[in-house]
A and B are shown apart, each in its own frame.
Chain A
Amino acid sequence: MLELKGISLSYEKVCILSGINAEFKHGEVNVITGNSGCGKSSLIKLINGIVPYIDKAEVSGDIILEGISLQDKNIVDRSRHISSVFQNPKTQFYALDTTDEMAFALENRGVFKEEIFNKIMFYSGLLGTRNLMGRNIFRLSGGEKQMIAITAVSCMEQQVYLFDEPSSSLDIKAMENLKEAILKLKELDKIIIIAEHRLSYLRDIIDNLFIIKDGNMVKFESGGINDDICAEYGLRMLKKVKKEELSKESTSVADLFANESKNISAGYDKNLCNDTDVLYCRDFKYRYGDHEVFNFDIYFKKGVHFIIGSNGVGKTSFIRCLCGLSRGFKGKIYYGRHRVRRPPDIISLVMQDVNYQLFTESVWDEISIVSDDDVKKESILKDFGLSDKKDLHPQSLSGGEKQRLAIALCAASKKPVVILDEPTSGLCRNSMYKTADFINAMRDDGKTVIVISHDYEFIKYCRGNIVEFKGREIKAL
């Protein structure tokens, strides 16, 4: 059993947690949640030692594992009992190769080679990652990377497993795999603690839900967890929003191979490219490796459009081609009666990782990249709640604020088309609502907003057209 006794945490005199007491037992899935900035990640870091050994903070209270205090143990000592899986799949790898990664922790302990292979075989079989062995980590998808991380920490055979927002950049299928893995760990009688925003994928397996608000933590046991509590505390919905629940009238299916069968009844009138308000994509054909990803035409009228589809169907490839980021791509784009030869002239893009898009030394300079109109910039910053942060460096903002800044740039720019790639991954409910409001504001401003998302809760809240990409069945690798 892992106990927290009287835990208090402050960053530079700002108190985040005060007097937290909790017990985490073996074989139970414990989920810690709350709004952004409430301290759930900090609590996880407190347990595995990152706070205070890496992130300096004032800590008081005690953490006791099986009767032994962890207070004075550093990260490496705690790693003998505790394993951690972090948020960002891309940066939690030491090795280049999946097998090396899994062996890493055991090599550090000096375990014999045969023993290491036995453990790798056992856990990769248990968690279903056998087919990912012997591959280059950089070529895996986000979900696969996360599964490798879980398998790697499972091989350590510790008692405590900590997860810090593990589903952040994952799509629906990957979240299912993640849930299965957590279930397996529960069956192995481990102590599992997960800090999360998105509760829907964990719904069936939560044993205890801890909600942090105003520095205090409230516990709910599995019988008493329902959506009313979520509403009361401002959390994301527990209930999974299913695809079928999305508005039928505004959903259409885009056959990604329409042009192949010369299916004119797909309904795309090529004359639409002469319409002022239509973004028309013509002869969009793309190959990846040895298979065709899509070969179709599509158009978007002014307004908000959500692109949904299964993982790997080609949504990101489509967006990249549309933005002109794909070399050798020959599809034609029309907007406002003209052929668009340089897509960046009419398209603003917000990528999944916003850190790649922050270039200057202050928020004001950043928004000045896209606009010279001072009055407009002031009003946009005010709408997005960034006015008082005008002179701050973009990199000093929190994750949610950076996201808002990136969207603010799209709103301030004169470019008529805005594309957002998974804007709500890792956002709590209030931030998600705010994002939806920003999108609606841009729509009212006359822009065409295209959003890739698998967050059905978000799509349902935001009004808009839904386009489902349907491609061919791709054989599993």
Chain B
Amino acid sequence: MSEREFVNKNFKHIINIDFRTKLLMTMFLSLTVLSGKVQYRYPIFLFAISVVPYLLLLDIREYGKCIKGLVLTSAAWAVSEFLPKNTDSFLQGILYMAAAIVIRMLPGIMAGYYTFISTSMSDMTESLRRMHMPDAFIIPVSVMFRFFYSIREDYKNINEAMKMHGLTFIKNITDPARILEYKLVPLLVCSMRTADDVAVCAMTRGMVPGSKRSSISNARLKVLDYIIMFLFAGIFIYFVIFN
């Protein structure tokens, strides 16, 4: 039986790039897009590069996020290009700014999302290890993503319990600090308990921070990785620095 059997079915992609490549790509992409120069001199190119994260999301089958993102991006671009620029309206100024924010930040957010959702924890840990990051950084990073999932689940359950008890925002609108308390306190309690349990579990499985560990991951920089890294670095250098 081949080891490919065990690869998470969620991670079977066409584009298989290393975590380090994704990090660099996200960084260069977001820097390029954030720079105002590119939007004003090469708008078409910017649009093209903004769409890249969505293509990647398609590859990992995150259709929902992909569609929402594309719709939002297109709306922002439409506002940016076609809204009349010669009126005094405050509202239009607001709208224009909102569109600008979406255009500048959304590609970076989506690329970052892709980076973390499309990488399994063992690949991420192995890539970070090869970058010579210490355990004191690697362990919290991998645990942080695990906790994003469990916090989200806990938060949902707590909101439902609040609803059943009638502790809604509307009924307590005079005292918003109470609502924050109702939401945060059970969340903190549950999260702290989870953290303690996970730490105990890790210890009973022999984890010692700082000791040498092996990995089932195959993280390796291949030709495709280098191509992508140089491509995005090149884009950044050319469009942002030299222009």
A88 at the interface (CB under 8 A from B): yes
In the bound complex, CA of A120 to CA of B5 (Å): 11
In the bound complex, CA of A100 to CA of B215 (Å): 9
In the complex with contacts A84-B204, A121-B1, A135-B213 CB distance below 8 A: no
How many residue pairs, one in A and one in B, have C-beta atoms under 8 Å apart?
168
Partner of B7, one of A104, A134, A156, A349: A134
Flag if A108 contacts B207 (CB, 8 Å): yes
Flag if A355 contacts B197 (CB, 8 Å): no
Chain B residues whose C-beta falls within 8 Å of the C-beta of A93 in the assembled complex: 146, 198, 201
Interface range on chain B: under 10, 10 to 19, 20 to 34, or 35 or more?
35 or more
CB distance from B170 to the nearest CB of A (A): 12
In the bound complex, CA of A449 to CA of B201 (Å): 38
CB distance from B187 to the nearest CB of A (A): 9
Flag if A359 contacts B162 (CB, 8 Å): yes
In the bound complex, CA of A418 to CA of B208 (Å): 48
B165 at the interface (CB under 8 A from A): yes
A370 at the interface (CB under 8 A from B): yes
Chain B residues whose C-beta falls within 8 Å of the C-beta of A109 in the assembled complex: 206, 214
In the complex with contacts A108-B205, A108-B213, A355-B190 CB distance below 8 A: yes
Chain A residues whose C-beta falls within 8 Å of the C-beta of B165 in the assembled complex: 344, 357, 359, 369-370, 409
B186 at the interface (CB under 8 A from A): yes
Chain A residues whose C-beta falls within 8 Å of the C-beta of B143 in the assembled complex: 94
Chain B residues whose C-beta falls within 8 Å of the C-beta of A349 in the assembled complex: 161, 164
Interface residues in A320-365 (C-beta closer than 8 Å to B): 323-325, 344-345, 347-349, 351, 353, 355-359
Flag if B214 contacts A112 (CB, 8 Å): yes
Chain B residues whose C-beta falls within 8 Å of the C-beta of A135 in the assembled complex: 8-9
Flag if B164 contacts A348 (CB, 8 Å): yes
Stretch in A74-82, A236-244, A299-307 touching the partner? A74-82
B212 at the interface (CB under 8 A from A): yes
Interface residues in B195-243 (C-beta closer than 8 Å to A): 196-198, 200-208, 211-216
Flag if B214 contacts A347 (CB, 8 Å): no
In the bound complex, CA of A107 to CA of B143 (Å): 16
Flag if B167 contacts A355 (CB, 8 Å): no
Interface residues in A92-137 (C-beta closer than 8 Å to B): 92-97, 99-100, 103-113, 116-117, 120-121, 133-136
B59 at the interface (CB under 8 A from A): no
In the complex with contacts A48-B204, A92-B197, A94-B146, A325-B216 CB distance below 8 A: no
In the complex with contacts A133-B5, A133-B6, A86-B201 CB distance below 8 A: yes
Flag if A97 contacts B164 (CB, 8 Å): no
Interface residues in B89-144 (C-beta closer than 8 Å to A): 120-122, 143
Flag if B149 contacts A92 (CB, 8 Å): no
Minimal Cβ-Cβ distance residue in B for A54: B200
Partner of A359, one of B1, B167, B194: B167
- Please encode chain B, from 153 to 187, with 1 for each CB lying within 8 Å of some chain A CB and 0 for all others: 11001101111111100000000000001100110
Flag if A79 contacts B149 (CB, 8 Å): no
Flag if B166 contacts A91 (CB, 8 Å): no
Flag if B164 contacts A347 (CB, 8 Å): yes
In the bound complex, CA of A324 to CA of B161 (Å): 12
B65 at the interface (CB under 8 A from A): no
Partner of B198, one of A80, A91, A116: A91
A56 at the interface (CB under 8 A from B): no
Chain A residues whose C-beta falls within 8 Å of the C-beta of B208 in the assembled complex: 76, 108
In the bound complex, CA of A349 to CA of B162 (Å): 11
B88 at the interface (CB under 8 A from A): no
In the bound complex, CA of A97 to CA of B207 (Å): 18
B10 at the interface (CB under 8 A from A): yes
In the complex with contacts A99-B8, A111-B214, A113-B214, A356-B154 CB distance below 8 A: yes
Flag if B166 contacts A95 (CB, 8 Å): no
In the complex with contacts A100-B122, A370-B165, A91-B6 CB distance below 8 A: no
B14 at the interface (CB under 8 A from A): no
Partner of A107, one of B8, B198, B215: B215
Minimal Cβ-Cβ distance residue in A for B5: A133
Flag if B197 contacts A86 (CB, 8 Å): yes
- 30 A-B residue pairings within 8 Å (CB atoms): A49-B204, A50-B200, A79-B204, A79-B205, A90-B150, A90-B194, A91-B193, A94-B207, A96-B146, A97-B120, A100-B120, A103-B122, A103-B216, A107-B122, A107-B214, A111-B214, A117-B3, A138-B149, A138-B153, A156-B205, A323-B164, A347-B164, A351-B160, A356-B157, A357-B161, A357-B164, A357-B165, A359-B181, A359-B185, A409-B165
